[in-house]
Amino acid sequence: MATGGGTADWLGRIRTLTRPGSTGRAVVIVTVVVVALLGSAYALGRSLVPDQSPRRHATGTTADLSASPHYADQPPSATTSSSADQSGGPTESGQDGSGRDAGGDNLYGAHTTTGNGKVALTFDDGPDPQYTPQVLAALREYGVRATFCLVGENAQNHPDLVRAIVDDGHTICNHSWNHDVTLGSRSTDAIRQDLLRTNAAIRAAVPDAPIVWYRQPGGAWTYPVVSVAHSLGMTPVHWTVDPADWEAPGASRITTSVLSAVEPGSVVLLHDAGGNRQGTVDALHRILSDLTSRFELEALPTDPT
């Protein structure tokens, strides 16, 4: 911006130019001067206005909370509101809780280990006509019994696979009717009806099979869902090892994640449905080969204490 001396200089020039005989030139020069002064005033004003441009991450992209990934059975990320958050249950970072501390708070008493030195493999979201038979074949090859957490509508649609699971000596677990991760935030009556409907679908295929375990979708435990499960004679079960196979990272990563984390008493979370599970099936052969050489594998018992 021009100083006081500069302004006086311009005024002197204007007086000279406005003498008789120089009117046309004076008009042009005055116009230029006025425009210049206005431009200086505008620049000064802009410098006094705070920067209103959007904040950006270190990557240089504008923050967009709506762009976070949202998987088929995954509730919104912790940056958005969800009924599971409001109910006091843990937030979700994976289809069934990838990244959550299985031994942390907000499990409301759900089991996270076998309670002994044995290791339990659990398979969620089935049964599925493409992947469940492959999982059963692998388990049969290694003589291992596991626990299958069944979604009610899938059990209703594939009763033959429910029978195949039980015929091979595996344990059944209720995994809600349609994998509703917000189930724990609903009323106790709604939770009870959901769990009873799922049990009915399972028992329609295997009337005498005990259903003594319940796993909350997404691991989004709340006091009401744990309480209702107990009232129906089911013990809530979480997990110890989660390789995030729901994300289909490939057989090698699933294998490495499981084998590096398993220890005596671990409950391993895997999936035989809910998406492309071929990576899980392929990893299972390598997982079983290793774990059977180091641990005793068992299905979760039908008489939990």
Which residues touch 182 (CB under 8 Å, ≥6 apart)? 75, 82, 83, 84, 220
Does the pTM surpass 0.85? The reply is no
What pLDDT is recorded for position 77? Answer: 31
* Strand pairing category for 235-236 and 267-271: unpaired
* Catalytic residue (choose from 73, 85, 124, 194): 124
What pLDDT is recorded for position 305? Answer: 62
C-beta separation of 219 from 182 below 8 A: no
Give yes or no: 124 in active site.
yes
What pLDDT is recorded for position 15? Answer: 52
What pLDDT is recorded for position 93? Answer: 30
Give yes or no: 271 in active site.
yes
Q: Is 261 helix (H, G, I), strand (E, B) or coil?
A: helix
Give the distance, in angstroms, between the CA of residue 177 and the centroid of all CA atoms in the same chain.
19
* Catalytic residue (choose from 111, 170, 175, 271): 271
* Cα 205 to Cα 200: distance, rounded to the nearest angstrom: 9
Report residue 90 as tokens: 């843990």
Token pair 């626990």: residue: 147
Among 106, 49, 110, smallest CA distance to 78 is for 106
C-beta separation of 235 from 214 below 8 A: yes
**Which pLDDT tens digits describe the chain residue by residue (305 residues)?**
444 445 445 445 545 444 555 455 544 455 544 445 555 544 544 444 444 333 332 223 222 322 222 223 433 332 223 333 333 332 233 355 433 333 345 899 999 999 999 999 999 999 999 999 999 999 999 999 999 999 999 999 999 999 999 999 999 999 999 999 999 999 999 999 999 999 999 999 999 999 999 999 999 999 999 999 999 999 999 999 999 999 999 999 999 999 999 999 999 999 999 999 999 999 999 999 999 999 999 999 988 76
Whether cis (ω within 30° of 0) applies to the bond prior to 76 is: no
C-beta separation of 290 from 141 below 8 A: no
Q: Is 148 helix (H, G, I), strand (E, B) or coil?
A: strand
